[in-house]
Structure 1
Amino acid sequence: MLDVAIIGAGLCGLQLATLLQPSGRRCAVFEARPRVGGRILTLSDGAIDLGPTWFWPRNQPRMTQLVATLGLACFAQHDDGRALFLDASTEVPRTVPAADLHGGAQRLDGGMARLTAALAERLPAGTVRLKHRLQALVQKRDHIEMHLQCGADTTALRARQVVLALPPRLVDETIRFTPELPAPLSAALRETLTWMASAAKAAMQYPVAFWREAGHSGNAFIGHPQAVLCEVFDACNPLNGRAALAGFFDLDPAQRQGLSIHLPRLVRGQFAQLFGPAAADGIVYHYDWAEDPLTCSALDRAEAVTLHPLYGDARLAEPQWGGRLLFGGSESAGRSGGYLEGALEAAARIAAVLAPQAPPTTGAGGARHVEADPPQATTGH
């Protein structure tokens, strides 16, 4: 029997498993995907982040410390105080002031997936078990029985305690509980939006950063009704010389689904409209999180989110089933909910409950509260 079963090998789940190692408790992390990282998704051998891209040392101490502890190289997001603005599809974009646009954001060399890969590599062999999707939890006298699907097979495993390091809405939508969870908790799970779940990102990779040579920062905002992307940023890596532009789709999930086969062409056209014909000649990458059933719930898909939600619902920090069932994930955090920092805060909060000798957390439980989060131009992360 496991001492602790962690469901979800995103940043919260992997960091929690790391924090529990000194306690000697037998721990395993179960992940439905064939990879670790959850909403962290890096493509093109580390060149393109289509999930979280940035962290902010100014007010994200956990992320800053973890990056340093793991020895990961990072660099500042390219900003030169200017951005292009296009408010009509027939006009030429104009340059506007954009001081401190990304608020001192930093990026990781090799992409944000380096973070979760480094955590997973440091765990004992066999700790992370991929392609295991949790279907049901059953409360027993001294443990919890887990029903997990792995391929065509379903297996039952036992753990003294279970941590659900998943988006709350997916927990409510996809997992059966016996007995049922208390009504107030189920309501909290449904009410907690999954940050960026209905969003989509696109990027284009190039041999050189021609837009910089032309005097542009790579930052841009598009505000006309025909916009494909709403915000664009320079995604170059100065440490390895790779050149790229990236941005957030302005189209909603239904529009993206209807135009799915045309999206690469539309992305090329949008970049070319901003930075000239050379911007159409690159490799297109895009990912629609609304089409990812392991990220986006039905409620998330139906709900447009443009402002960062208020996270920190105290109901999500309360252990259930006599302390054997706990809820994690970034959206459960009392601070920086939805961000990578929030995932680390949630991991520290739960570790302090499961293994009191683990590093203590701040702001755990209690009433909803908020800290100053990174400045964001739109819905990006």
Structure 2
Amino acid sequence: MNTGGASLSWPPAADKPAAGTGDLLACGLLAGLLDAGVVAVGLSAVPFAAPLALGLHMALCALLALWLRRRRDRDLDLRLSGLLLVTMVPLGPLGAACTLMTAGLHALFSRYATGFQDWYLSLFPDDEMEPAQELYELIVSGRETAHLAAAQSFTDVMSVGTPPQKQAVIALVARHFRPAFTPALKAGLADADPSVRVQAATATARVEHEFNERWLSLDAAAQSGHDDPEALAALARHLDDYAFCGLLDTNREAEIREKALDGYRRALDLSPDEDGLRLDLGRLLLRCGLPSEAAERLEPLVDSTGDARVLFWYAESLFRLGRFAELRALQSRRPELLGDETALPDTLRDVFALWRQGEEGRTGGGEGCGDGNDGGRREIVA
């Protein structure tokens, strides 16, 4: 049987019918009565009663073992019959009574209990909406960036919500996972409610499984593409996203980022004019603590790019390298992207304003400014 499809097509053991139930009940009752008689013999005044009772008990257990083997050969259910043998060896007739009680409870609760596979599938129901339709509805409703605020909302629900609300959030996160949703998933893993923890662990495993499945697919495409830069870039970006998802331990994350770096470098060597690929490589190099190579990779784009993000990452690499004079000159080099009138994020606007002031103080010739590099560094630290 193909194990890859077994989890979906073959019913779990807990949902299989208990074949041979009548045989089990008859044998369990008979074994319990016989072992009760053996115990009575052991407690009587017959000479050598205890050794005799022990021998009869072991012989009865051996007969049960042969009966269990016969059930296995007939491909019958072995769970309760195996329990009968395991409990009777140390407990005697009490073990048989407990097994019969277990069989009765199983027959009672299995009539309305939800099977494991049905329960598992109910945690993450299939999303019937097509991706294109979902994107269209997000755009027309103005919610195309709603996930940025949703991450915080999900975390709030995981902190103060009820267990059903937390389970709904985890199901939604598993279906539409983004790295911003990782805190909510980790909160579920640490929740006090066992059902929430189980669902969060299942969702985490599902997300990692999807990442790995996609990784295998892209890796096969890259290996069969004979150094196709697009295939290499797709694989590198996927590994980059995987490392950034926040679900991996430190060593695993570093290992995957190294693989992503290798893919980016190979793709860029084959397609050196791909600006987006160069930006992705530079950004990842900075995250890996390699600002020198990041600056080298991003510098060819400084004068030609229309994407301000390139300049942001290039400025970060210059700052980490201590090349403050080049960092000040970057604003005058591309004033249309970094000037006073450009639309910058609030935090970056303040930082570049400080560096512009440092440049003005250096070129204005004011006394007490000292060296331009040192003055700029003092301002950015302040």
Name the TM-score class by shorter chain: under 0.3
TM-score normalised by structure 2 residue count: 0.23
TM-score normalised by structure 1 residue count: 0.23
Question: Looking at CA atoms only, which structure, 1 or 2, has the larger radius of gyration?
Answer: 2
Structure 1 or 2: larger strand share? 1
Structure 1 or 2: larger helix share? 2
